Structure 1
Amino acid sequence: MRNLHLAPVSTLSDHDLISLVRQGSEAAFKEVYLRYDSLLYIYAYKKLQNKAEAQDVVQEVFITLWNSRETFILKSTLSGFLYKSVLNKVFNIFKHQHIIQQYISSGEHFIETDSAETDYLVREKDIAALIEKEIAAMPPRMREIYELKRKEFLSTKEIAARLQISEMTVSTQMKRALKLLKLKLGVVIYIVYVLHG
């Protein structure tokens, strides 16, 4: 068995990093932080639209991970765990602010994040595979607009300028793309996707 302590932390897998974190390695924890801090912040900010709250949520997730390191057990992927941890904290904020209803409409029971179904759906790799399949099947221009919006985080105005089309066309195509995803993925997965994506 190789000695993980001898390898540069930047070369280690997430699984190996967590093994070292459980042993109290601050270097391994810092590497986990560097790998996921920015991604988790973007993810949280997209949900909350508040920079301070997004930063606080991500910081709390990492603090919790470090404080529980000795008993921490990774049941799925590290990325899946971290994203779900952020998502759960976002849910708590929404519940506190009484605005969760605008996200789940009439599907209140889908918000039970500890259920087996939702736990499966919010895992990054699982939902990403479903979504990517449907995105790939979109008409070329719709897919292009969708990916610029969702993956490059461009505004409607920026997309219109890049593609030399009207902002109205961009908005219309995005609405159609989301409607298509809802139809193809089904309501349960779509609700989770809106929260997750």
Structure 2
Amino acid sequence: MNGTPASENTKQLVKRLKEEDMKAFDILYRQYSERLYSFAFSILKNREDAKEIVQDTFLKLWNKRKEIQPNQSLNAYLFTISHNISIDLIRKRLKDEKYAEYLKTHVTKEGTETENLFHFNELTYKLQEAIQQLPKQRKLIFQMSREEGLSHAEIAKKLNISVKTVENQINLSLKSIRRKLNSGELKSFLFTSLFI
């Protein structure tokens, strides 16, 4: 599962995916599979389970491809699916006493790491919620910058606006996100490394 840099606009890939383009599906798989695997492994602490979660996530993506909205964040969509499937698996497995004991022991041994990972997961979801609440144009500009990796100049050209407008909208987005997070979360290294 080798991650690859985005070689094509995500929205274009999603559009092709909705038209049952398997090549687009393959590109998305290569772009997201490694990160989804790491995310699932951080929750389940089991390599085989994490691999299975990735497969199930992309199976669900394919089955639900027609339902994806044009302005919906594919990143948030995939990680939400992965998170939900992982939690469902844990709930199912907890009925098995041996697995429950294994999980308890494993989490105890790696408590600090596990807490940090869950904090990262929680912060990621809060950030996505804050992004979704941004005004339409502002959200689009922010997602083009942070999720699609476009430069300010590229965004300005695509939207036929000035670079200064792009910069202002991104700054307003960050201020809005900061207001929705508490002071402790704002000091998080994860937040600063991902968004600032």
TM-score, normalised via structure 2 length: 0.48
TM-score, normalised via structure 1 length: 0.48
